[in-house]
Amino acid sequence: MTQETKNSILIIGGGLIGLSIAYEFARNNFKVLVLSKNRNESAGFVAAGMLATHSEGLKEELLKFGQESQSLIPKWIKSIEEDSKMQCGLKKCGIVVPFKNKEDLEKFPTYEYGRYLNQKDLQTEINGINSIWKHGLLFKQDGQIDNRRRLMRALERACSLHGVEFQEGSEVKDLTVEKNKITGATVLCATGQLKKINCEKAILCSGAWSKKIYKKIPVFPVKGQMLSIQGPSNFLRRVIFGPKTYLVPRDDGLIIVGATVEKDSKFNQGNTPNGINQLQEGIRSLLPEAINWPQMEHWWGFRPCTPDFKPILGKSKIENLFLATGHYRNGVLFSAITSDLIFKLVQNKSLKEIEISFLEKFSLDRFEI
């Protein structure tokens, strides 16, 4: 059976990046079909939702990319909220990065963008912070989105209202390429039926699974385990970004705790005792009293990582196949600029000099010898 998708955009991957791109095309009156094997596995559902351009210490083009995306996010989120009639939990709450000594603080890559906190300041900003932390940087310009409970659902709804078609439970088994152009994809449906879907243009944004569909992409999974705890409402006003653990407080007192970095786990599912223990030790090191707060949920996910930890964006070697993957730890932060760039690129719209620079630096070509 063949399904026609004439004059349309085929998006392979229904995670945050896929939904963001689908939304961009759909609200500009394109017909969009999103194929997704299991949207709940996507990194967008499992991430903490930090907008940590400066507090993560990004460098060079990644720092510029994050800053550009962060400048787009308020308008982008406003549009999603207006279309979906749902709130996304965007907050410029500020993020505090604690340090045990001033030498490490002054070597932090984005030191110049933060406000220095002495120990007294640190204790004022973070109620109950462990006394082992003597210094800190406050990045007031950074913040968070409630991606897991709000943004992903709002994007799904906004896409649906703009006519996006979703085929959940659809695993792309093969791409049909003729004369260096994709003509379609062979899809294994949830029913077990193989179906051929024709397309004019396709965008691959399957996160950690991208290499399974397009072998030339050097993307691999990095597993992250997370949990949430329930604290008192408004106990934490700022996000705490420690060296191995971060605490992200939502308005209702829920605190997201993350995340392990497991580069050799492949696609091994499930939480592990070691992973949970690491998160608990992280809580104890940052906010000792929180170790006694009730744990609400445990989960895990797979970050799409590349050898240089930078995303892969732009054209592929196949004429009508475009790439948006490899966002690693920053899919939420980079989603606004990625959807904007890919939309402009696919439509051959004029690009600013900095946008051209991003596409050059994040091109798949950089991995070719």
Q: Establish if 55 belongs to a structural domain.
A: yes
Question: Does residue 254 share a domain with residue 175?
Answer: no
Element (H, E) at 98: strand 95-99
Does residue 229 share a domain with residue 131?
Answer: yes
On whether both 187 and 260 belong to a single domain, the answer is: no
- 66 belongs to a structural domain: yes
Q: Report the pLDDT value the prediction gives residue 4, as an integer from 0 to 100.
A: 42
- Mean pLDDT across the stretch 301-306? 95
Q: Stretch 336-365: mean pLDDT, rounded?
A: 95
How do residues 125-153 score in pLDDT, each as one tens digit? 999 999 999 999 999 999 999 998 899 99
Q: In this structure, what is the dihedral angle of CA atoms 161, 165, 166, 172, given to the nearest 10 degrees? A: -150
Query: Does residue 334 share a domain with residue 290?
Result: no
Beta bridge partners of 267: none
- Domain hosting residue 252, numbered range: 93-143+220-305
**pLDDT of amino acid 248:** 97
- Asked if residue 198 belongs to a domain, the reply is yes
Angle at 234 between CA 156 and CA 118, to 5 degrees: 115
Domain limit, last residue, from 305, 329, 347: 305
Question: Same domain, yes or no, for 212 and 192?
Answer: yes
Q: Mean of the per-residue pLDDT values for the chain?
A: 93
Predicted TM-score of the model (pTM): 0.94
Looking at 305, 329, 346, the residue that finishes a domain is: 305
Which tops the pLDDT comparison, 77 or 168? 77
pLDDT reading at 7 higher than 70: no
> Residue 318 domain-assigned?
yes
Q: Report which DSSP code applies to 114.
A: S
Stretch 243-247: mean pLDDT: 95
pLDDT at res. 183: 86
Length of the chain: 369
CA–CA gap between residue 19 and residue 207 (Å, rounded):
12
Number of domains in the chain: 2
Mean pLDDT of 171-186: 89
Q: What percent of the chain has pLDDT over 70?
A: 98
- How far, in Å, are 3, 163, 322 from residue 11 at the CA level? 15, 14, 10
Tell me: pLDDT of 155 over 60: yes
The reply to whether 88 falls in a domain is: no
